[in-house]
Amino acid sequence: MTKNEKERGLISSVFHTIGDVISTFLFDYLFDDPNRKGVMRFSFPARTFHWVVVVLIALLGLTGLILFVPGWGAASIAGWTRIVHRICVYISAVVLVLYFISYRQSCLAYLKEAFSWTKADFGWVRAAVDYYLGGDESKMPPQGHINPGQKIWELITIVCGVLFVITGAIMTFAKGVVAPAVFQWSLLIHDIAFIIGSAMLIVHIVLGAIHPRMNESLRSMITGKISVKYAKSHYGKWYEEIAEKQS
Ligand code: HEM
């Protein structure tokens, strides 16, 4: 293969993927048949909450990045990035509290899910690298409602969220009140949470929305449903539980 063909291959595969993601969004959002057979994976409130959080995180990330990267400071003329950043924090807090009050059971289930680890989960983590690189699917132990990779992501969202809130509150309300070292540590921890959270967000997007083995995943975050075949192969334990309840 010549160099040009290789480059064309890479570029077309990147654009192909972007095209796939956009068309999944548009097609499933606009034309999905609500009576299509399948298993309900994410409720309408959970999906709405997910996409509202995505928009807020995107705005927080962008404005945070402008504050964080030294060379980008010029983009924050008249401090607008700081203002938008803070407004998004307050909106996120309201959204989070309202969602928690309205859907307490599912929020508690989310917390329980993230912190419940079994021996089988560690077996999944060991087999996962081979699986995501195209290895034998039958080697993967059957999973519950979410797999351990998704549990790690849930944990990251909780830990980074708590760190952002504590350190952000110190930087906003306690400047000059706390010791300078505490202020500096808050800044550093806020930045580290941002770096870890962003790196894991990229993994989440790649494995959640783009990876060919998770080909019904994005669809489930748009329409709520996955096919029975996908539920059996990806979340076998969970599928058995719901099938038992229905019988
Ligand atoms: C453009 C950005 C994002 C995309 C395309 C995306 C996509 C997805 C998809 C497809 C799923 C379903 C995975 C499954 O099959 O179970 C999912 C689940 C989830 N997403 Fe996102 N997501 C994005 C950003 C975020 C952000 C910013 C957060 C929170 C900070 C988040 C938190 C979650 C959580 C907690 C779940 C459930 C656990 C899991 O399935 O991983 N997502 N996301």
Task: Average the pLDDT over each of 24-28, 76-80, 177-181 and give the range with the smallest value.
Answer: 76-80
Degrees, nearest 5: CA angle 126-128-132: 155
pLDDT in tens, 153-189: 999 999 999 999 999 999 999 988 999 999 999 999 9
* pLDDT above 70: residue 1: no
- Looking at the CA of residue 150, tell me the nearest atom of ligand 1: 41
d(Cα 50, Cα 45) in Å, to the nearest integer? Answer: 8
Find the mean pLDDT for residues 57-82. 82
pLDDT in tens, 146-158: 999 999 999 999 9
Residue 209, ligand 1, Cβ within 6 A:
yes
* Pocket-testing residue among 17, 50, 112, 162, ligand 1, by greatest number of atoms within 8 A of Cβ: 50
Measure 75 CA to ligand 1 centroid, in angstroms: 29
pLDDT top residue among 238 and 70: 238
Residue 153, ligand 1, Cβ within 6 A:
yes
Residue 47, ligand 1, Cβ within 6 A:
no
Longest CA–CA span in the chain (Å) reads 64
* pLDDT above 70: residue 202: yes
For residues 159-189, one letter each, b for 16 or more C-beta atoms within 10 angstroms of the residue's C-beta and e for the rest, the string is ebeebbeebbebeeeeeeeeeeeebeebeee
- Looking at the CA of residue 149, tell me the nearest atom of ligand 1: 41
Measure 221 CA to ligand 1 centroid, in angstroms: 8
State residue 160's pLDDT score.
97
Take atom 6 of ligand 1 and give the residue whose Cα is closest. 205
Residue 201, ligand 1, Cβ within 6 A:
yes
Measure 7 CA to ligand 1 centroid, in angstroms: 30
Which residues, at least 6 apart from 106, have a Cβ–Cβ distance to it below 8 Å?
A: 43, 45, 46
* pLDDT above 80: residue 112: yes
Residue 146, ligand 1, Cβ within 6 A:
yes
Take atom 19 of ligand 1 and give the residue whose Cα is closest. 50
* pLDDT above 90: residue 140: no
Degrees, nearest 5: CA angle 75-76-78: 130
Take atom 27 of ligand 1 and give the residue whose Cα is closest. 54
Measure 208 CA to ligand 1 centroid, in angstroms: 6
Take atom 3 of ligand 1 and give the residue whose Cα is closest. 205
Q: Label residue 5 by pLDDT band (50, 70, 90).
A: low
* pLDDT above 90: residue 27: no
